[in-house]
Amino acid sequence: MDSQYTPLINNMSKFVSLTEGEINLFCSFLSLKEVKKKDYLLRQGEVCHSNNFVIKGCFKAFDINDGEENITQFAIENWWLADVKSFTTQCPALFFIQALEDSAVIQLPYDKMEEVYQKIPKIERFFRIAFQISFANLQERIVKMNSLSGKERYKHFIATYPKIEQRVPQYMIGSYLGLTPVFLSNVRKEIARGN
Partner DNA sequence: CGCGACGTTGATTTGCCTCAACGATTGTGG
Partner DNA sequence: CCACAATCGTTGAGGCAAATCAACGTCGCG
Interface residues with its own copies (CB under 8 A) are 63, 65, 68, 70, 72-73, 84-85, 88, 94, 117, 121, 124-125, 127-128, 131-143, 145-147, 178
Of 73-81, 89-97, 129-137, 170-178, the segment contacting DNA by CB under 7 A is 170-178
The entry of DNA, its own copies, none near residue 140 (CB within 5 to 8 angstroms by kind) is its own copies
- Is residue 130 within 8 Å of 80, Cβ to Cβ? yes
Of DNA, its own copies, none, which one sits near residue 169, judging by CB under 5 to 8 A according to partner kind? DNA
Torsion of CA 128, 130, 131, 137, to 10 degrees: 140
Q: Is 63 in the site for DNA (CB under 7 A)?
A: no
| Smallest distance, DNA to C-beta of residue 180, A | 4
Q: Using CB under 7 A, which of 156, 180, 191, 194 touches DNA? A: 180
Nearer to its own copies, 49 or 56 (CB): 49
Contact 99, 35 (CB under 8 A): yes
Q: In whole angstroms, what is the distance from residue 159 CA to residue 62 CA?
A: 22
- Residue 121: CB atoms within 10 Å: 12
Give the start-end residues of each E strand in the chain.
31-35, 40-42, 50-56, 58-65, 68-76, 80-81, 96-99, 103-109
Residues that bind DNA (CB under 7 A): 149-151, 169-171, 178-186, 188-189
